[in-house]
Amino acid sequence: MLIVTLLVSDLFFSLVVALVSAVALWEFYSMVMDEHRAGEKYAAIAVGVLVVFAASCDQLLLVEVLPLCFIAVAVAFLARFRDINVVVSELGLIALGWLYIPVLLSHMIMLHSFAAGRGWVVLVLAMTMLCDSCAYFAGSKWGRHRLYPAISPNKTVEGAVGGLLGALIAAAVGSLWLPEAVAWHDLLAVGVLVGIFGQLGDLFESMVKRYAGSKDSGTIFPGHGGMLDRVDSLLFAFPCVYAYLVFSAGTM
């Protein structure tokens, strides 16, 4: 993903994000919905891909497309009144999938379109990877206090602190590929955001897997789980970084 970010055009980058969203959506819907609802899953995934491309064309278009898609699916669900006991919950899961994956992941595309966007995307990806690695190392070596045992019994407070420090280390060297005009306090703030919200994204996906009774979201990466397992931290990190950069002066 780091190489893709630096070398390809905005359009091709959008295609990559759309593909990642489609695979992650399939894994999500396969976990939380009945296996006999394949038609609904495919339709929902198609909408998710449309949401990604809407965000890549115009951010305001995203605001228009998603409500219209929801109305269309809601009207289609009216024909399933015989399943009245499950129709609302399934529609809610479909909508959650859109908000959770393509809407959040679309912030990668929107950030990529900034003047220094490619550098910021690379930095957030690097921060996330170092955060995960440092959290694992610190948790394995010094972990004593459970962070959230009801959802993820292996994660520790010490590991979380190590992950935050890892993100800050990546932030410290971020100036190597970002313009000199980027202030140190912006790098520090982005490092804190990624270090905190990236790990919260990981915990949220663990909660979804607990709900679904799944160990991994999929098997696309043997020994490492599915696509959603790979991007869970990014789903929370990128929107937070994007919002910070939009609302802080001089960073776009």
The pair of three-digit structure tokens given for residue 135, joined into one six-digit string: 């959290």
What digits encode the pLDDT tens for the residues 87-145? 888 889 999 999 999 999 999 999 988 888 888 999 999 999 999 999 999 999 999 99
37-42 contact pairs (CB < 8 A, 24+)? 37/90, 40/90, 40/94
What digits encode the pLDDT tens for the residues 43-100? 999 999 999 998 888 877 878 888 898 998 888 888 876 777 778 888 899 999 999 9
| DSSP string of 135-171, one letter each residue | HHHHHHHH--SEEETTTEEEEEHHHHHHHHHHHHHHH
The pair of three-digit structure tokens given for residue 142, joined into one six-digit string: 């010094």
- Which band of pLDDT confidence, cut at 50, 70 and 90, is reported for residue 251? very low
